[in-house]
Structure 1
Amino acid sequence: MTSTLNRVIVRPVAGHIGADISNVDISRPLDDEAVKSITEALHRYKVIFFRGQRLDHASQIAFGRQFGELTYAHPHDDTPPENFPEIYTVDPKRYEKKYGADFGVASRRRRYSYFTGWHTDVTAAVNPPAGSILRAEVVPEIGGDTQWTNLVAAYEGLSEPVRAFVDTLRAEHRYGGGYEISRSSSYAKVVEDNLLVAIHPVVRVHPVTGEKGLFVNPGFTSHIVDVSARESRAILDLLYAELTRPEYTVRLRWEAGTVAFWDNRATAHLAPADIEHLDLRRTLHRVTITGERPVGPDGRESELVSGQEFGANHKVVVDD
């Protein structure tokens, strides 16, 4: 995709996913043509990157609202920044301060098999966010990269008989679905008091592009429904191995002022795990765009098991 003067410039950065967006200041209101160009790039490349932007909480929220209604910060975050309930701050030091030093230790211990942090945002909700926008404020000079994978490419990489099979499946998603949360932790209590559980199609039809993509992830998918536990594990292992293939991914080296905007309907991403042993600060801020209930190839919508739809009016229950 090329551009002329004063038009958004889109430059693909990897074979299956990712593009750099330039010639645009997203801290200011965008005209209709810029919004259209960015939206088209998002749907085509699944994750897009803006460099050298100067955003604060207010301008990040304003940018996100040009692409849809924003959700509350996070289903389990009762302390978003004052006056900015849409902002979810990603900072391990913040989590450890809130939930105790063992929060980070527990997180590291639960990493096994394919779960090293790969997830799609808030798929425990019956209507996971349509998109996520993450802004870097403080990043380390080394490490801390994030990766994304293209779930449409992963689906298309399966053989035709396997695609036909997984088209028929549904899976449960819940917090702690792909790993074990310590029942004694204060975080576990917050999760339990604000339980979100949904049944989603294993293959999701994108509501805009019509593309089919895998819609399971190691972070939140607990099991395939209506099959045995052994069969579920085998199916998920097959799909996780496919969606984590390096050729479907792109990796971002963060700098302060970098913004990543991804299609949460068609991607999973990998949180960094290479700086936990170092005393380094990494602070990013995210907003998410309210999504709809996923629909499978058979036309069936996702089913709510526990909780409520996730949107702007979400309230976090805190029981001291």
Structure 2
Amino acid sequence: MSSPALSIRPVAGHIGADIDGVDLAQPLPDTSVQQIKEALHRHKVLFFRGQRLDHAAQIAFARQFGELTYAHPHDDAPPVDHPEIFTIDPRRFEERYGAGFLDEYRKRQYSYFDGWHTDVTAAVNPPAGSILRAEVAPEIGGDTQWTNLVAAYQGLSAPLRAFVDTLRAEHRYGGARELGAGSDYAKRIDSNLLVAVHPVVRVHPETGERAVFVNPGFTSHIVDVTAAESRRLLDLLYAEITRPEYTVRFRWEPGHVAFWDNRATAHLAPRDLEHLDVARTLHRVTLIGDVPVGPDGRESELVHGRPFTADRVVSAA
């Protein structure tokens, strides 16, 4: 007996789709898994509303799409018995690293970054995808936005596409010791330094699409050009990838789930909650990624650290 087709409804012109008619807490038939994969490749981020998942069910759902990483390169305390879960809640970080944590990460260009970013691109094998579910969501504020990096690449002029196809950039997580260097959190980050050099344009391993693969959260500079040239080139690319027409915005409610292709998107965490006394708790699992390849066939290069896998290797400060 064949399973019914899922309801897939695009929600923005370049990115995002709502998927209905599926219970993520139950094992999915192969046909549904394939439909979700195809929808992810087409729409880049998928939204599932009103799901009933706990940690174990979220992990089981994600494993139908690939192997999972450890929670996060710098997380030494994921939920007990669920090392794949990374909990996103500023109160958790403040409890561990002190009340100054939020002030510090606003100053740093890496870490639990609240600007536009693609997850953990400082690893030589950035995650293939991420699945985030809301446990607690505020009644106002706290939305997340995603942008389509394939559309951003296609929006560049042909001469500029040909030029950026040839470039490579360093992505860094840690090492800026002049910023908050004395805190326990800064020491932990720098004790687990991640640095890789990636192509500025990445070829998607499954669709063959080309995507701009730089982001303000982790890209430190374009290599083999001057510092001034790097800043201007990155500013141009950042302006392109954050054009509103390439984006979609998602309103969280408890039970909502977002599944995005980390190879073809960047996302923006909320910036509108700092003055509000509200709670927001989400849980993320991450699919192990492959090593990016550029249009010239060259793979990314590991500079410091190790690949981001299921292994837990977090050095204490």
Report if TM-score (shorter chain) is over 0.5. Answer: yes
Deviation at 1:184? 1.5
Partner of 1:146: 144
Residue 160 of structure 1 pairs with residue 152 of structure 2: no
SS in 1 for 2:134: strand
Residue 255 of structure 1 pairs with residue 253 of structure 2: yes
CA contact under 8 A between 1:178 and 1:220: conserved in structure 2?
no
Whole-angstrom CA distance in 1 between matches of 2:178 and 2:260 = 27
CA contact under 8 A between 2:174 and 2:190: conserved in structure 1?
no
Whole-angstrom CA distance in 2 between matches of 1:314 and 1:239 = 34
CA contact under 8 A between 1:73 and 1:88: conserved in structure 2?
yes
The one of 26, 37, 50 aligned to 2:48: 50
The one of 200, 203, 208 aligned to 1:202: 200
SS in 2 for 1:153: helix
In structure 2, what residue type is equivalent to 1:92? P
- In the alignment of these two chains, the number of paired residues is 313
Whole-angstrom CA distance in 2 between matches of 1:132 and 1:180 = 31
1:186-216 residue CA offsets vs partner (Å, 9 max, x unmatched): 1111111111100000000000000000000
Distance 1:253 1:261, change over 3 A: same
Partner of 1:133: 131
CA contact under 8 A between 2:125 and 2:290: conserved in structure 1?
yes
Aligned-residue CA RMSD in angstroms?
Answer: 1.7
SS in 1 for 2:38: helix
Deviation at 1:177? 8.1
Whole-angstrom CA distance in 1 between matches of 2:52 and 2:226 = 51
Whole-angstrom CA distance in 2 between matches of 1:78 and 1:139 = 25
Whole-angstrom CA distance in 1 between matches of 2:176 and 2:211 = 19
Whole-angstrom CA distance in 1 between matches of 2:48 and 2:211 = 25
Deviation at 1:109? 4.4
SS in 1 for 2:12: coil
Partner of 2:66: 68
Deviation at 1:314? 3.2
1:267-317 residue CA offsets vs partner (Å, 9 max, x unmatched): 000000101111110000000000000000000000000011110113111
SS in 1 for 2:47: strand
In structure 2, what residue type is equivalent to 1:184? G
Distance 1:251 1:178, change over 3 A: farther
Residue 245 of structure 1 pairs with residue 259 of structure 2: no
Whole-angstrom CA distance in 1 between matches of 2:150 and 2:176 = 21
Partner of 1:95: 93
* Runs (5+) with no aligned partner, structure 1: none
Residue 173 of structure 1 pairs with residue 171 of structure 2: yes
CA contact under 8 A between 1:177 and 1:221: conserved in structure 2?
no
Deviation at 1:176? 4.8
SS in 2 for 1:40: helix
Deviation at 1:7? 2.1
* Runs (5+) with no aligned partner, structure 2: none
Distance 1:177 1:24, change over 3 A: farther
SS in 2 for 1:312: coil
Partner of 2:32: 34
Partner of 1:286: 284
CA contact under 8 A between 1:167 and 1:202: conserved in structure 2?
yes
Distance 1:57 1:141, change over 3 A: same
Whole-angstrom CA distance in 2 between matches of 1:37 and 1:233 = 40
In structure 1, what residue type is equivalent to 2:270? P
CA contact under 8 A between 1:290 and 1:310: conserved in structure 2?
yes
Q: Which 10-residue stretch deviates more, 250-259 or 172-181?
A: 172-181
SS in 1 for 2:303: strand
CA contact under 8 A between 1:178 and 1:219: conserved in structure 2?
no
